[in-house]
Amino acid sequence: MRASTIIAVILLGTLVTACATGYQSEGFTGGFRDTQLAPDVFRISFSGNAFTSNDRVQDFALLRAAELTLANNFKYFAVINSTDQSRTETYVSPGSARTSGTVSTYGGTAHYSGTTTYEPPQVDTYYKPGVGLMVRAFPSKPDGIFVFDAEFITKSIRSKYGIQ
């Protein structure tokens, strides 16, 4: 019994992770979008679905910032501003009523006996994490401000999530 419980937990964890938003351009299940605002300034957003963690969303936004930094021949980037773009969505499923019964007849009369079952509407609220970053890229490491090494961030986050 213990082995089957462990297997069930592993399968459930795999299923939930498989449903989380992957590192991708924005689509139906979320992803990144970006805009270059100046030769060295980028705005990046990453939105996740209800199965995506806050950490994953933040990591993927940083990964996109690092990729844009390297693609534009820079080596370092600083986060100028960060905004929480998380949202909640509510879904209300309709309620329903079902009646079943029997009719019995005796002579010229009929008798009905029935039961009605009512299922009220279900309300589900989903939390979908999101983050927005404004970053500035640098060709060399500047003094006096904290910067990320774009190559290191790219390798680190890709390794963490098994991204090629």
Listed residue (64, 74, 59) closest to 44, CA to CA: 64
Supply the pTM of this predicted model: 0.74
Q: How do residues 61-105 score in pLDDT, each as one tens digit?
A: 999 999 999 999 999 999 999 999 999 999 999 999 999 999 999
DSSP structure class, residue 21: -
**pLDDT at residue 134 above 60?**
yes
Measured between alpha carbons, how far is 120 from 143 in angstroms, rounded to an integer? 62
Say what the pLDDT of residue 25 is: 77
Mean pLDDT of 141-146: 96
Please spell the DSSP secondary structure of 88-107, one letter per residue.
Answer: EEEEEEPPEEEEEEEEEEET
Q: In the beta sheet, which residues pair with residue 148?
A: 77
For residue 63, the SS3 value is: helix
**pLDDT at residue 7 above 70?**
no
Say what the pLDDT of residue 5 is: 59
2 falls in which pLDDT band (50, 70, 90)?
low
Q: How do residues 19-64 score in pLDDT, each as one tens digit?
A: 888 888 787 788 999 999 999 999 999 999 999 999 999 999 999 9
Measured between alpha carbons, how far is 139 from 144 in angstroms, rounded to an integer? 15
